[in-house]
Amino acid sequence: MRVQAILTVCMALLLGACALSPQQVTINPTLEPGKSNIGEGRTLSVEVVDAREQPAIGSRGGMYKETSLITPANDLAGAIREASARKFREMGFVVQAAKGASADITIFVDELSYRDPDSSVGFEVELESILRVVAKQNGDTYTGRYQVKNKKTYATVPGRDRNEEMINETLSGALQRLFNDPKLLAFTLR
């Protein structure tokens, strides 16, 4: 009877090890510092729209993928707007809250994903971020699309801190591409 109890406990521990708990990650994109004053005090508004189909960024995998979800701990759109407004200010623009500035910038988060494809060796993670911008000024419109894909392999399942770092790195890369788009910058300076 005692052996059976020990086996039951061991089996429960083994099955529990196959289940991964859900995680919440703080979205905090970072951008390269800019020292240019190209905006020269022009006004613009910045709006961010979370256009993703579902609130979860992805699943950590494991035996119960549908319950081991990674979700934002804070407002995704708000975090991107804050980082974008800060970057535009560094570039010499005056960022106002409402539309009707000399340029209105809307950033759409079309995708922010974390996938764990089945891998025979280690634990593999595929991350992707797709941002789209629609800029309007004086009746003209400019659109751009910015995508970053990353793939990482680990010996063990990454923890919350590492997942947060990878997700923010991927999102920051797409946002940096947006700010490095010379056509978008030229459009805002017309």
Tell me the whole-structure pTM to 2 decimals: 0.86
CA distance 43 to 104: 9
| Cβ partners under 8 Å of residue 3, min gap 6 | none
The 3-state DSSP class for residue 12 equals helix
Give the tokens for residue 49: 């729209």
Give the tokens for residue 61: 């995998």
CA distance 94 to 145: 24
pLDDT value of residue 83: 97
DSSP 120: S
CB 143 within 8 A of CB 187: no
pLDDT value of residue 98: 79
pLDDT value of residue 184: 96
CA distance 116 to 7: 31
- Which residue has better confidence, 158 or 19? 158
- pLDDT digit string (tens) for 25-72? 999 999 998 778 899 999 999 999 999 999 999 988 766 567 689 999
pLDDT value of residue 119: 59
Least confident of 13-27, 49-63, 80-94, 137-151: 13-27
User: 2: pLDDT confidence band, cut at 50, 70 and 90?
Assistant: low
pLDDT value of residue 26: 98
CA distance 155 to 140: 50
Q: Is the pLDDT of residue 128 over 50?
A: yes
